[in-house]
Chain A
Amino acid sequence: MNDTKLETINYSLYYGKFRALKDISIKIPKNKVTALIGPSGCGKSTFLRSFNRMNDLIPGVHTEGSVLIDGEDIFKVDPVALRQNVGMVFQKPNPFPKSIFENIAYGPRVTGLKDHHKLEEIVERSLRSAALWDEVKDNLGKSGLDLSGGQQQRMCIARALAVEPTVILMDEPAASLDPIATLKIEDLIHELSANYTIVIVTHNMQQAGRVADFTAFFYTDESRTGQLVEFDETKKIFTSPRDRRTEDYITGRFG
């Protein structure tokens, strides 16, 4: 089987007293695309944020169990260093109010790189990897906010790539985009999976089917506590799910 990149063991997360995630154990393989699917409020975005410790920013959150990256406990890693290794793309494109160049150069700059020539190289490489270079190469000085929504999202992906992460987390990256922009993002995810471990939260079942090598189905009942129901190759989840709830969900009987 594949190398494991990310792993959780009996991982639970609480917002104050409310238990949002319960006993989640999963092994996410290296350099594959893993989709997290499930109905609204089942905790899949919360789970995603566990891998770069963005939940730390929310007051009152505490966790049990462990989260490992390359076998190392992420709570023993400096969160700033962790986030340089584990990039994130958000649901709504969030370019900084700076030029395209400065948006991409932001990460390398905060990690201490000052050499302008080096920065130029990184900006070009990242934009090429995000399939945006040809569209913006003559306008790198233009504000990132002036791009279209789909271009903004690809710029945010390029921005994440510029820090040289090994993992990219994507929280419904195409939710605010039109179908054509969505396809471009999906193509991009597919290309990136050769070199990066990608975990993507999506509401869109077809999207999971199109882009993901593996799929994890999250579910929640009246308690609103999210749990992992099933995790397997995407093909198996979609054709022969083991759990009744998974089958109901992917056939559109609820959610």
Chain B
Amino acid sequence: MDERSSEIALIHKAQALNLKKEHRRQSFWVALMWLFGLITVSILILVVGYVLLKGGTAINWEFLTTPPKGGLSGEGGISTTIGTTFYLVGLTLLIATPLGVGAAMFLIEYAGEQSLGSKFLRSMISIANFAVETLAGIPSIIYGLFGYALFVSTLKFGFSLLSAALAGACLVLPTIIRTTEEALLAVPDDYRRGSLALGATKWQTLYRVVLPASTPGIITGIILSVGRVISETAIFYVTLGGSYRMPTSVMDSGRTLALHLYYLAMDTRAFDKAMGTGAVLVVMIILINLLIDFVSRKLTAGVRRVR
């Protein structure tokens, strides 16, 4: 055996030793990550499970179908708050969806080319983009304060579904704009070029090809917004008021499930009712997340087929 081959044998031996060590090191880190993962999942299961178990006993048909009695006792059910939640979600999205989708379409499809010639327009558009980024990270109570100042007092809409929906629309607008922007950006330029080359106008291209292709993404943004409106409290505390009656017009006050939960927990001793309301809320959120999952899976399936 010459010198070189014995040297190589030594290197191989050292490599084998090192590999054993690396395997041990890897096992350690993987085990640690498993642990962290398990802790996170357990916390989630614990919270959701606790609310569902505790709250589940309070839920029955009567609880779901009778209105709250009001007052400090916290007696009664949650029927009107479920109704108010649906009204508010519907009204908020009715305002926010066209605004958000329209704004995103402008920013992605038109702003670039229209601002080419003008420095002023270009800086306006970069400000708009920055504003969307920033607005997405602002705490909801700020929107609440703004909504209170503008819609409730200045415009004299009072504590009402309308004030709350307008403030809520401000809250979810960044979400809708961002998800729509991403959905539009995900549409391959090949589609746009193909359509234009066939003699379609830009608007026909957008309306007939780009928008249909980005619909699943836009719907994801809308569903995310639904979840946001269902789960927010602070913003609606200062815009929707707290009436436990069923609103009969958009100028009526009301309380959503989450808001009702807040009142129950803070102002009454009806802890079981609060838990029951929480359980209903959690189930609603879970259903919405399943819906998002379903829709976005459809979206990615569509994208994969393009490749």
Contacts and interface: CB of A to CB of B under 8 A. Distances in A.
By Cβ-Cβ distance, the 7 closest A-B pairs, closest first, are: A84-B199, A94-B190, A88-B197, A110-B200, A107-B198, A83-B199, A94-B194
Bin the interface of chain A by size.
Answer: 20 to 34
B73 interface: no
Contacts of A107: 198-200
A107 B195 CA distance: 8
Given A97-B302, A97-B306, A163 B198 contact: yes
Interface of A: 52, 54, 57, 59, 80-85, 87-88, 90, 92, 94-98, 106-107, 109-111, 143, 145-146, 156, 159-160, 163
B149 interface: no
A128 B200 CA distance: 23
Contacts of B306: 97, 145
B191 interface: yes
A92 B190 contact: yes
Interface string B181-218: 00000001011011111111100100011001100000
Contact of A59 (B116, B194, B302): B116
Query: Interface majority SS on A: helix, strand, loop or mixed?
Result: helix
A252 B8 CA distance: 47
Contact of A96 (B196, B201, B204, B209): B209
Contacts of A163: 198-199
Residue of B191, B196, B199 most packed against chain A (CB within 10 A): B199
Contact of B208 (A83, A94, A106, A159): A106
B193 A110 contact: no
B119 interface: no
A90 B190 contact: yes
B305 interface: yes
26 contacts: A52-B197, A54-B193, A80-B200, A80-B201, A83-B197, A83-B199, A87-B197, A87-B198, A90-B197, A96-B191, A96-B195, A96-B213, A97-B191, A97-B302, A97-B305, A97-B306, A106-B198, A106-B200, A107-B198, A107-B199, A110-B199, A110-B201, A143-B305, A146-B305, A160-B198, A163-B198
